[in-house]
Structure 1
Amino acid sequence: MDKCFIVDGHCDSIGHLSNQGRSVSVPNEGGHWDIPRAKSADISLQFMAAFIETKFKPLMATIRGFELIETIRDFVEDNSDQLFLVEKKSDLSRIPDPTKIGVLLSVEGGEIVGENLFLLDIIYRLGVRSLGLTWNHRNALGDGVWEHETKSRLTKLGQEAVQRMNQLGMLIDVSHLNENGFWHVLELSKYPIAATHSCAYSLCPNPRNLTDDQLRALAKNKGIVGVNFYPGFLKESGPVTRKDVVRHISYIADIAGVETVGFGSDFDGIDETPDGLENVSDFSYLLDDLTKAGFTSKEIKQISGRNFMRVLSDVLK
């Protein structure tokens, strides 16, 4: 098979840099992701999330979010010989770059804007190009998946946020949003949306996963789901291996079309991984597994990176 480039829709490695002192630049510090291992795996574009921890919410969420954004920007600048920031549609033409990994700055949790929509424009100016409207809890935009009993749609501010993100050219991430909020986003968004790190509910009934109806709706929206590598989202019980990741990819491709699925590893944001997929350098084995599962070379290229690139090309300005 011709060489693929990989787009990974979610990792939390910047939290390790901020909290644990890992440089994320050398492989002997542990963790799931660092620059050398990512380059060895042909990662061409990495979504890097600024995850705002619960202890900072609500009062310190904006400050913590800005701190993490600055950490990501500093990380890219300090490693500018190996990384570059993706901010415009024209930046996508640089992917794949044989020497550098593109970094797309995302924020996991709309708490960063508090109740002030103008902060969306500020984080956009700082380079943020993807925002998860919620984490698992409620905020001023909507309800997360742990609030599913409320069956709430987006708040008025959440609706305005979707419309403003469309205008700015920001990818709307619904991975942690409750189901009614998901449907509300689809009613409002004029552009494709993403569940950057989720799996199929029919295979593992976790509230973080997407139902068949949601998967089909994403396909109609020309959006994408990045399959998450967390064992708890892949299988209800028992050992979890790379084959379970392939099982979810295959299922989503069957339900919603191969153009609707990609990778969303959640590396460095999960405390365990499937056997045989312990860190970013193991992506090559996953591609081999997709070949063995019957995917064509063209389909694997779509899954590994081109689907996310298409969505970003539709969304970014």
Structure 2
Amino acid sequence: MDLLARAQELLTAHPVVDGHNDLPWRLREQVRYDLERRDIAGDQSAHLHTDIPRLRAGGVGAQFWSVYVRSDLAGGDAVVAVLEQIDCVLRLVDRHPDALRLAVTADDMETARAEGRIASLMGAEGGHSIANSLGVLRMLYTLGVRYMTLTHNDTIDWADSATDEARHDGLTAFGEEVVREMNRLGMLVDLSHVSPGTMRAALRVSEAPVLFSHSSSRAVCDHVRNVPDDVLEQLPRNGGVAMATFVPQFILPAAAEWIVGANENMKAHGLHPLDQSPKAQAVQEAYAAEHPRPLADIGTVADHLDHMREVAGVDHLGLGGDYDGVVHLPEGLGDVSGYPRLFAELLRRGWSEDDLAKLAWRNAVRVLRDAGSVAAGLAGKRGPSTASIEDLDG
């Protein structure tokens, strides 16, 4: 049996849990959540990285759908936006009951796998979406959100971002209370996008395993969005999981250098660097025609996974592709159908099938189960926090 066939067979038994997919925001941008116009039951390759046939082809058995909110939205606007994102995921699940199953626990994930459906979980990307309210945090949990990324691209009132000025030396007192309340609920603390100081502070405070939903190795590619080795080394003690991402500028140094120039060009045209509108894509394509884009490939991703396994151990790795959150992806991983090719490369590099089963499925299921166990243990010890940012941070 060739390596690709072995990978496909393995993913049938141990499908991929993908930590981060921005399909809901893409549906907002493209069709204002009109699911008739982007029916993911069929081929949407002309518009999206993601649809059900390609999820099936990629061996994806569980997906954390990002209920992302742009970090220039704040307060009530951010809360409205995250609720609309949650509504989009719930409508997708209702619309495709034969293929998708809402999941809020590890048991739900296992049930979906047994039924041959894709477990659909939600992760909120950016702590600004709770508008400094632990009550809003609890409501997101009640609606099914099972991780929250503490920041997105901007530093917020209580946590420092990797891509903005650090103002808090990691977390403020209220930020620490957010982490404790997430532990009490059973919501995973996601440390992608945050500064190393925030990573270390959250690991110090958290009583439950943490998650990096879409971050790779900073030692392999020195990008601020990646995880330093000293943080990866803490995952065995914490029990958390780092899910390697596929974003070229995060994994390939030459691509990281290229994106700096491309972003400046976008700003010069009055566009946000993350804009994915047709106008923005045309500007990017014109820039790439004059400045050829360095290309990452499957081997680039595998290099990160090799290093992360060496530092953190195979029990603490996963995958978070960031599909539909970026325009460009590594060669061979251009949409959600590409996972078997990555697993074939890891087999070629000598990864055992047991190790790959952990990478694909077991680690992510375990970390959610462990977060639930911590919450169950805390249930009799403390109730919902009534603290406010004004109380704790003055």
When the two structures are superposed, what TM-score results if normalisation uses the length of structure 2?
A: 0.77
Identify unmatched segments of 5+ residues in structure 2: 1-5, 32-37, 255-293, 374-394
- 1:23 CA displacement: 3.3
- Among 214, 223, 243, which residue is 1:206 paired with? 223
Identify unmatched segments of 5+ residues in structure 1: none
CA RMSD across the alignment: 1.5
Alpha-carbon distance between aligned partners in 2 of 1:18 and 1:75, rounded to the nearest angstrom: 13
Q: Give the aligned partner of residue 363 of structure 2.
A: 307
Q: Which amino acid aligns with 2:16?
A: I
Q: Give the aligned partner of residue 30 of structure 2.
A: 20
TM-superposition CA deviations, 1:238-271 (whole Å, max 9, x none): 4210100000001100111111111110000012
Native 8 Å contact 1:198 1:209 kept in 2: yes
Alpha-carbon distance between aligned partners in 2 of 1:85 and 1:300, rounded to the nearest angstrom: 25
TM-superposition CA deviations, 1:24-55 (whole Å, max 9, x none): 33223432111111012221100000110234
- 1:209 CA displacement: 0.4
Q: Which amino acid aligns with 2:19?
A: G
- Structure 1 residues 199-208 or 142-151, which shifts more? 142-151
Alpha-carbon distance between aligned partners in 1 of 2:126 and 2:40, rounded to the nearest angstrom: 23
- 1:288 CA displacement: 0.5
TM-superposition CA deviations, 1:166-214 (whole Å, max 9, x none): 1111111000111111111111111100111001001111000011101
Describe the shift of the 1:88–1:261 C-alpha distance in structure 2 as closer, same or farther (beyond 3 A). closer
Q: Give the aligned partner of residue 305 of structure 2.
A: 249
Native 8 Å contact 1:7 1:305 kept in 2: yes
Q: Give the aligned partner of residue 322 of structure 2.
A: 266
Alpha-carbon distance between aligned partners in 1 of 2:85 and 2:308, rounded to the nearest angstrom: 32
- Structure 1 residues 91-100 or 31-40, which shifts more? 91-100
Q: Give the aligned partner of residue 69 of structure 2.
A: 52
Summarize the alignment of residues 210-289 of structure 1 with structure 2, pairs less than 5 Å apart.
Answer: 210-237=227-254, 238-289=294-345
Alpha-carbon distance between aligned partners in 2 of 1:283 and 1:187, rounded to the nearest angstrom: 34
Native 8 Å contact 1:136 1:143 kept in 2: no
Alpha-carbon distance between aligned partners in 2 of 1:77 and 1:141, rounded to the nearest angstrom: 36
Alpha-carbon distance between aligned partners in 2 of 1:175 and 1:122, rounded to the nearest angstrom: 22
Percent of counterpart pairs with the same letter? 30
- Among 162, 175, 198, which residue is 2:192 paired with? 175
Q: Tell me, what secondary structure is at the counterpart of 1:240? A: coil
Summarize the alignment of residues 81-230 of structure 1 with structure 2, pairs less than 5 Å apart.
Answer: 81-150=98-167, 152-230=169-247
Alpha-carbon distance between aligned partners in 2 of 1:244 and 1:24, rounded to the nearest angstrom: 29
Q: Which amino acid aligns with 2:23?
A: S
Alpha-carbon distance between aligned partners in 2 of 1:206 and 1:58, rounded to the nearest angstrom: 30
Q: Give the aligned partner of residue 10 of structure 1.
A: 20
When the two structures are superposed, what TM-score results if normalisation uses the length of structure 1?
A: 0.95
Alpha-carbon distance between aligned partners in 2 of 1:149 and 1:164, rounded to the nearest angstrom: 23
Native 8 Å contact 2:106 2:366 kept in 1: no
Alpha-carbon distance between aligned partners in 2 of 1:88 and 1:297, rounded to the nearest angstrom: 25
- 1:87 CA displacement: 1.1
- Structure 1 residues 9-18 or 93-102, which shifts more? 93-102
- 1:95 CA displacement: 4.5
TM-superposition CA deviations, 1:102-128 (whole Å, max 9, x none): 011111011111121111111111111
Alpha-carbon distance between aligned partners in 1 of 2:367 and 2:71, rounded to the nearest angstrom: 30
